[in-house]
Structure 1
Amino acid sequence: MSKALLTKLLAYFMIYIVWGSNFIAIAFAIQSIPPFLTIALRFLLAGLFFFLISKRGNYSLAVCREGVITGFFLNILGTGALAWSVQYIPSGVAAVIVAAIPIWMILLDFGSLQKNLRNPRLVIALLLGVSSILLISLTRGSFVVATSSTQFFLSLTVLIGGTLAWSYGSLYSKRLPARGSLIAFLAVQMTSAGAGLLVISLMIEELHTLNLTVITQKSWLALLYLIVFGSILGYLSYVWLLRNVEPVKVGFYALVNPVIAIFLGWWLADEIITPSILAGTSFVLLAVLLIHARQYSRIKTTAK
């Protein structure tokens, strides 16, 4: 096996498998570490690492402004909402909701909205995405234990809001002009987001209730895993693949992540897999597949 092929396979493994395991890792980390503090530490430390390896990166005012804005929508509102919600929603179910991000990006892409809504394939994808969320919402009693209806629907609403923020942030970052090192951009994005999440943690007094003596080894290891594999190696792999592989092929991780998350939630945390979860997952995956299949066919047509 050539070195180039091995590098590509490892990079795919990071975004297809490791990113799918981020959901259960977050669930384990917040068992004894407050959720916003968990994510703040994750992004602060990963961001500082990216600063160290990009000493000569472009840190102009424009890069810093764009990195902060991207970090606000993706990491503070997006990942922050995920970490808070996983307190009350099984990690596998959360992964299914997050998998709908490509669907929301269609709705939030206002410049192409009318064109998208005239495409039957994309309309079907939208209907499937909405149906999956309705199915999960209406059957919450079949898989959520020790969580009140109020907690469940509030956390579901927060998580959906987080996915909308992530979708908007993704569209925003996609339209940014190339300004040099992506690693430098990630350094600004993650460090600023980590700082913002730390402020939120302080504002809601998470540190006042924090007791270092009760933090379990499982939570420490999960946090370390999120920093090293979920953020540093995961994002480096993602950036490398975007530069060396067709973006549509990279984007198919959205199909694999929820399956990995549901399996790991069942295997490691005894999360229940019900017919409603399987049906909701199938709807979302089919919707994402329709979206990516359209993009892939468009690229092949252009290549001809």
Structure 2
Amino acid sequence: MEMRKALDGRAAGLMVVLCLVWGLQQVAIKAAAPDIAPLLQIALRSGVAAALVGLLMLVRRERLSLAGTWRPGLLVGFLFALEYLLVGEGLRYTSASHMVVFLYTAPIFAALGLQWRLPSERLVPLQWMGILLAFAGIALAFFGGDHGGGFSGDVFFGDLLGLLGGVAWGATTVVIRCSRLAGTPAALTLFYQLAAAFLLLTPAAVALGQWGFDPTPLAWSSLAFQAVVVSFVSFLAWFWLLRHYLASRLGVFSFLTPLFGVVLGAWLLDEAIERGFLMGAVFVLLGILLVSGHGWLKALLRGRRAA
């Protein structure tokens, strides 16, 4: 079995770029929302990306065999579609910066699910501290921000949908780790998710009235970015990193995505960042860092003590 490496400069640089792309994802959807509905964007990008992944598998001569994986494949596909259904609806009510913070609470829920299912994933005290810190941040972001009457009440609802999207994403991670999908090629798992998202979200977009499409340059640009850069290139690059580098080291960078999302939302969309939400977001980011990067932090502390 191939040994996974510790992080080097190439992997660290690629992770920063990926986090920037993922942080820009919700901002691009929100920016193009007047021209193409968020849920329709996600459905169409998933269909295009699924076709690209299928074509890549043909070029690599990888078999699209569903034997033994179709049940967990359907489940992760449903959870992936549910996650982005919640994101697409949530972006109608809340800002991109709010959405990216609440969606990227997923590592917290994944850690709790894996703690329950896998003995090897038992949480250590430092991780439990991170989970408590993250939940305190979620509460502060919900109730410390400006969620008064009028539109702000809608913001609260959109934030809740974003948090539920994070729960769905965390559940997807648990299913992949605890099923036969853990040993299947990454492209097949990605194909399950993208194909299911296209098949389920397209009729959902029609049913929920998110079917508007004005073919402006902004709409086409956002769709191309979502389909090719986010759903195809970035996801495959992430799976490549997971095959070659230690996942615990890669997870240290996970807190950068919501950080980039907040900054880009404020810069590109002029989104207001309330003080209570910002304080809560800082707690959430610190909690994610403790949960995902506890191994790296412990190694760093041991190295300093030895020095």
Range of TM-score over shorter length:
0.7 to 0.9
Matched, 1:193 2:217: no
Partners of 1:121 and 1:13 in 2: CA distance: 24
Which is worse superposed, 83-92 or 286-295? 286-295
Q: Which amino acid aligns with 1:27?
A: K
Match of 2:151 among 138, 144, 147: 147
> Which residue does the alignment assign to 1:236?
236
Partners of 1:278 and 1:154 in 2: CA distance: 18
Match of 1:89 among 88, 94, 107: 94
> 1:290: Cα distance to partner?
1.2
> Which residue does the alignment assign to 1:49?
52
* 162 and 32 in structure 1: CA distance in 2 versus 1, 3 angstrom threshold: same
> 1:29: Cα distance to partner?
3.0
> Which residue does the alignment assign to 2:71?
65
* 206 and 279 in structure 1: CA distance in 2 versus 1, 3 angstrom threshold: closer
Partners of 2:129 and 2:11 in 1: CA distance: 33
Q: Which amino acid aligns with 1:95?
A: V
* 140 and 132 in structure 1: CA distance in 2 versus 1, 3 angstrom threshold: same
Map 1:1-304 → 2, pairs under 5 A: 8=11, 11-55=14-58, 56-58=61-63, 59-73=65-79, 75-109=80-114, 110-111=116-117, 119-141=124-146, 147-149=151-153, 151-177=154-180, 178-207=182-211, 210=212, 212=213, 214-296=214-296
Contact 1:14 1:237 in 2 (8 A): no
Provide the TM-score with structure 1 as the length reference. Answer: 0.84
Contact 1:67 1:186 in 2 (8 A): no
Q: Gaps spanning 5+ residues in structure 2: where?
A: 1-7, 301-307
1:87-132: per-residue Cα shift (whole Å, max 9, x none)?
Answer: 211111111112221112233332369x957x43233222211211
Partners of 2:33 and 2:68 in 1: CA distance: 35
Contact 2:32 2:218 in 1 (8 A): yes
> 1:40: Cα distance to partner?
0.6
Q: Gaps spanning 5+ residues in structure 1: where?
A: none
Partners of 2:191 and 2:200 in 1: CA distance: 14
1:216-262: per-residue Cα shift (whole Å, max 9, x none)?
Answer: 42232112111111111111110110011111122233210011111
* 254 and 194 in structure 1: CA distance in 2 versus 1, 3 angstrom threshold: same
Partners of 1:72 and 1:10 in 2: CA distance: 32
Which is worse superposed, 215-224 or 160-169? 215-224
Contact 2:16 2:253 in 1 (8 A): no
TM-align CA RMSD: 2.8
Q: Which amino acid aligns with 2:279?
A: A
Partners of 1:185 and 1:130 in 2: CA distance: 30
* 175 and 236 in structure 1: CA distance in 2 versus 1, 3 angstrom threshold: same
Provide the TM-score with structure 2 as the length reference. Answer: 0.83
Identity among equivalent positions (%) equals: 24
Which is worse superposed, 261-270 or 175-184? 175-184
Contact 1:15 1:253 in 2 (8 A): no
